[in-house]
Structures are given as structure tokens and as C-alpha cells.
Amino acid sequence: MNNFENKVVLVTGASTGVGEGIAQLLYQRGAMVFISGRNLAQIEHCARAIDATSNRVIAIKADMCDPLQVEEMFDIVMQRTGALHGLVNNAGITGPHNTSIVDYPINDWKAVMDTDINGVFYGLKYGIPAILKSGGGSIVNLSSSNGIVGIAGISAYTAAKHAVLGMTRSAALEFADKGIRINAIGPGYVDTPRMQMLPNDVREWMASTHPMKRMATREEVAKTAAFLLSDESSFSTGAFYAIDGGYTAQ
């Protein structure tokens, strides 16, 4: 099992869903975890739910679309602990579904790009120097199964997740000999609390798109992220790890 004792990891967009699941697993494995989100009340509630003492899970309000807030977020981590060993760029939005590219609202397009691409860029831009100062570490970027295949009706999300993979590979090459590994993971549909609120027929359809005929659990995604953050994946960088029940093998 990956051991994260004496390690500091930051997970963005962690007030719920996949980010929350990753933060919880890292905490269970001994890490000090900083979690960020746009809504301070939500992110503080998540921190307390994982760690009632708030000693090893610390909430930071940060909008990943705002480079000044992202830079300040990393400053807070470094001021508080003096180190950052791992980063999970998880924050993202999907935007409208079942919408042709010719009908896609421009403001929605910009919002997806700003969060899903620019947010990852800001995370790398300001996170990498902090990790370098700490002696090196690992970064995991959340792409998607849509990061390597197309899907009709969600062009912005699909384009953004392709971009995350390209950014991951470029950054990985830039820092491969400097002690920082950078990889991407690509979940299919994940059975998060939000997904569990959907009608059963929708959930069944989502599960059926995977050859394994189910959705991923948050724990399965979190375990892959933890593996890539740990020294157990010490020769992996610039890679894409699908967690999609065979979806992209079709």
C-alpha cells in the first residue's frame, strides 16, 4: 500500500465527487492533504468530514479560473508546511450535454475551457515550482476517457480533456529529468454521489457504455491517483491511465 506519511498533497476541486474520494484516500494513507474549491463552506465541510480535527485536511478557497487565486493557494500551502510533494489537478466542469457544436453557447464554451484547460495550466505553472523547492514529487492531471476519443454532444469537454492530455505530456517531458513526474488519468463514468441522484435508467445507460457493465467507484479512481503519486510508479511519466472499464478499448 502506498505510504504518504510526511507527504503534503494538494487536490483541487475536492469539495465532492472524485476529488473528495482522492483526498479521503490520501488522508487514510497518512498524507497531509490540502483541498481547494470555489465554495468555502462546501470545501470546509468536506475537510471536516474527512478529518474532524482539521489537522491533516485543510480547506483553501480558490477558483482555478483565476491565476492570482491559484498562485495564492500554493503560497498558502508552502507557508503552512514548507513543502508540496504531490498535486492532483482535478477541478473541472462538463458544460452542456447533447448540444451540437453549432448550437453550443459561446459563454459555456469559454467556461469549460477556462476551468478545464486554464485551471490545469495554472496548477502546473504555480505548482511545479513549489514541488521543485520541495525536492521533487508527482502530479496527476484529471483527463477523461473522452481525452482520447470523441463523443457527440459535449464538444467543449471532449476538446478540453484532449488538451489536458497534451499538456500533461509536454510538461512531463520538460521536467522528466528534474525530479517531477506528471501523468494523466482518464476515468469513464464514476459512481459519485451526484451520479447516484440521477434516474435509474440514466445510471443504467451510463453503466452499459462500459464493457464491464458498471461505473467506476471513486475508490478505484483514487487508488490509481495514489499509485501515480507514490514512488511505486517511479518510472511513469507522461502517461495516460484509463480507468474506464474497457470503454476506450472498443
Task: Give the C-alpha separation, 87 to 195, whole Å.
Answer: 25
Catalytic choice (122, 126, 157, 189):
157
Name the phi and psi angles at 132, rounded to 5: -60, -45
Annotated catalytic, 157?
yes
Residue 88 host element (H or E): strand 86-89
C-alpha cell at 72: 495564492
- Give me 162's grid cell: 484532449
Residue 88 and residue 221: Cα distance in Å, rounded?
A: 12
Q: What is d(CA 72, CA 64) in angstroms, rounded to the nearest whole number? A: 11
CB 192 within 8 A of CB 16: yes
* Catalytic residue list: 157
